[in-house]
């Protein structure tokens, strides 16, 4: 089984890769090139449409570049894909790729223009099928979701959370628009598809309908940074309900 499922090394030459990454970042700053990913319309599927906008200095669109998309997921080569992008207008480029799993992906946008070549790397989130809800990265902003008839707003800090550092979690609960008091609340931190041990942060009352606590975020040795914060609520006189919030940790 081990021989049949063996995966390649995630980074075979980490020192050299780090040097190239830093060089590309400095080159991007010197050229003024930037890439913005349209994550709002990106959905998991065998024919997912990935669209970006390339801009140069002063925000001017880059319209005559040769662009290649490369996508992958940390810890496995099964989802490695690449495709040339088609230019639309106003610096916009798009391609159709097979991205069948929702969650965080690595994206490399390879840009060739005027004798220059540059790889712009991004972490992107691929939402699930339509109807699964709008994605909100709880690591960078307040996010809200419903757990039964309870509205849950989660705040994680720092923004974004830093591995091997303290993690502050605050939850605001309302029911029918009114603060929900007397609940038992905890935040469970896990990594989708990989067991990282139990990491549960119990929260205490910190105000009307507000609960807060402090824990720590682990570091995944595979290099993954996609996590899931699950808010567990035991409301007075009711059973247990849960609200799930994906988030991305800092590098």
Annotated domain spans of the chain: 14-126, 143-248
Is 2.30.110.10 the CATH classification of the domain at 143-248?
no
Cβ–Cβ < 8 Å for 157, 188:
no
Give the residue among 219, 223, 186, 221 at the shortest CA–CA distance from 201. 186
- 3-state SS, residue 134: coil
Close Cβ partners of 238 (under 8 Å, ≥ 6 residues apart): 148
Question: What's the pLDDT at 189?
Answer: 95
pLDDT band at 231 (very low <50, low <70, confident <90, very high): very high
pLDDT higher than threshold 60 for residue 41: yes
The pLDDT score that the predictor gives to residue 75 is 65
Domain 14-126 bears CATH identifier 2.60.40.1930? yes
Q: Do domains 14-126 and 143-248 have the same CATH topology?
A: yes
* Bigger pLDDT: 54 vs 124: 54
Tell me what pLDDT residue 15 has: 46
Mean pLDDT, residues 206-226: 91
CA 55 – CA 90 distance, rounded (Å): 9
Confidence bin at 101 (pLDDT 50/70/90): confident
């Amino acid at each position: 089984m081990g021989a049949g499922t063996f995966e390649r090394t995630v980074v075979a030459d980490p020192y050299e890769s780090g040097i190239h990454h830093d060089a590309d970042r400095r080159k991007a700053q010197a050229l003024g090139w930037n890439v913005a990913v349209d994550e709002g319309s990106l959905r998991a599927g065998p024919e997912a449409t990935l669209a970006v906008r390339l801009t140069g200095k002063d925000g001017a669109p880059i319209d005559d570049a040769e662009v290649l998309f490369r996508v992958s997921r940390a810890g496995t080569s099964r989802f490695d894909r690449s495709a040339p992008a088609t230019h639309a207008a106003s610096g916009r480029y798009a391609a159709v790729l097979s991205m069948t799993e929702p969650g965080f992906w690595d994206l490399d946008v390879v840009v060739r223009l005027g004798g220059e070549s540059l790889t712009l790397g991004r972490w992107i989130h691929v939402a699930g099928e339509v109807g699964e809800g709008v994605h909100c990265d709880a690591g960078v902003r307040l996010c809200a979701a419903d757990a039964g008839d309870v509205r849950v707003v989660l705040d994680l800090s720092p923004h974004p959370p830093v591995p091997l550092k303290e993690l502050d979690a605050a939850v605001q609960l309302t029911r029918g628009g009114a603060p929900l008091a007397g609940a038992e609340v905890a935040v469970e931190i896990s990594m989708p598809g990989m067991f990282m041990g139990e990491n549960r942060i119990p929260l205490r009352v910190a105000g009307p309908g507000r609960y807060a606590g402090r824990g720590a975020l682990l570091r995944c040795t595979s290099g993954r940074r996609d996590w899931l914060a699950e808010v567990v609520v035991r409301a007075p006189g009711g059973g247990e309900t849960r609200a799930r919030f994906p988030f991305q940790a800092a590098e």
